[in-house]
Amino acid sequence: MVKEEKEENRGSVEFQVFSFTFKIRRLALHLELHKKDFSERGLRRLLGKRRRLLAYLAKKNRVRYKKLIGHLNIREQ
């Protein structure tokens, strides 16, 4: 039996942005709980990657960009 086609395409920009957003939220929560943990560099790196992907998507397809930021509840650049 062939696996059902997954709705998300793991290589798509939307899935990558979703993945980065999940990691960012998880890391931000961790940093709030553990004040002495200085892993902000990783957080900034993830934010930069997500920002670049969102800029690419906004340039290529504005409708998909608006739908994605609305779905993830993140600010527009």
Residue with tokens 């940093």: 31
Note the pLDDT of residue 6: 54
pLDDT in tens, 27-63: 989 888 887 777 788 889 999 999 999 999 999 999 9
Mean pLDDT of all residues belonging to the chain: 85
Q: How many domains does the chain have?
A: 1
CA distance 16 to 34: 27
Q: Is 63 contained in some domain?
A: yes
Q: Which of 2-6, 13-17, 27-31, 45-49 has the lowest mean pLDDT?
A: 2-6
Q: Supply the CATH number for residue 52's domain.
A: 1.10.287.10
Helices (H) and strands (E) in the chain, counts: 3, 0
Range of the domain at 50: 13-72
Torsion angle defined by CA atoms of residues 20, 25, 26 and 31, in that order, rounded to the nearest 10 degrees:
120
